[in-house]
Structure 1
Amino acid sequence: MQHDNYDSQYLRDILTQVKVIALTGASPNPQRPSHDVMRFLLGRGYRVIPVNPGQAGKQILGQVVYARLADIPEPVDMIDVFRASEYLDGVVDEALALDPKPSVVWSQLGVRDDSAALKAEAAGIKMVMNRCPAIEHPRLIGWGE
């Protein structure tokens, strides 16, 4: 799949089908974009599980923080990546090691690694890069859901 542009229906389907999201790079700082996006997603009814090794065992927005994806004690549908592009391949490797695997890896604005995307897609995981679900959700679904 090419990752320069996404069909609106592709993104809409992802946002309406996923329920549990692991948010890597979650921050307790309300000034950080990951904090705002996590708040937004929680407010839309998603279960959001923060992942940040430096915050493991603490809470962000009332949710327990885990150090690694492998530490999350339940399946996740999507991994939202708030890490720099050079870490995306490692996040995909972590996703591939999960059982069950997530259905989607979604990287935030400015985060892209085409070889990581190819690896995820070869394993049957949908990939979205350089997009923000907190922007796409209101655009494609609306604010009220």
Structure 2
Amino acid sequence: MPYEHPAREDIRKLLEQSHTIAVVGCSDNPERTSYQIAEAMQAKGYRIIPVNPNADNILGEICYPTLMDVPEKIDIVNVFRRSETVVPIAEEAVRIGAKAFWLQLGILNEEAGRIAEEGGLTVIMDRCIKVEDAILLPDRKQTGK
């Protein structure tokens, strides 16, 4: 069955109930979209955990090489990687017990979505988490970071 986005209300509830977002592929370069979106979500009050094997610290947070290395609970796994590379990330998201597997705008992989969904995760593909948060939770408190 082809992928369908969750209902907007379900996405809103997910965002309301989530606190920690692991950003896989988060860049330490402020010019990159992954950095900018992670920074914006951090400013909205989410705890951001960067996952990048080539960086030590991003946005004042310790960076981890993989999801499996993160020592705390993750609500949303937000992915900034090419579509053809995301299946192992979906498998890790299931193993760590995340609530959701979120592929950013332009990223779509049916197999990864199936793996995450069968593992009990909410799956969102080809949508920007920052845009969805701004639309669905416009009044969420900014922390000023």
Equivalence map 1:1-145=2 (5 Å): 3-55=3-55, 58-98=56-96, 101-142=97-138, 144-145=140-141
Percent identity reads: 35
Q: Give the distance between the partners of 1:22 and 1:42, measured in 2 at CA.
A: 11
Alignment RMSD: 1.4
Give ranges in structure 1 of 5+ residues lacking alignment.
Answer: none
TM-score, scaled relative to structure 1: 0.91
Give ranges in structure 2 of 5+ residues lacking alignment.
Answer: none
Displacement, 1:47? 0.6
Q: Is the 8 A contact 2:6 2:123 kept in 1?
A: no
Q: Give the distance between the partners of 2:64 and 2:12, measured in 1 at CA.
A: 28
Higher RCO, Cα 8 Å, sep 6+: 2
Q: Describe the SS at the equivalent of 1:53.
A: coil
**1:56-86 CA-partner distances (Å, limit 9, x unpaired):** xx21110110001111111111100000101
TM-score, scaled relative to structure 2: 0.91
Q: Give the distance between the partners of 2:3 and 2:15, measured in 1 at CA.
A: 17
Q: Give the distance between the partners of 1:106 and 1:137, measured in 2 at CA.
A: 13
Displacement, 1:96? 2.1
Q: Give the distance between the partners of 2:5 and 2:77, measured in 1 at CA.
A: 20
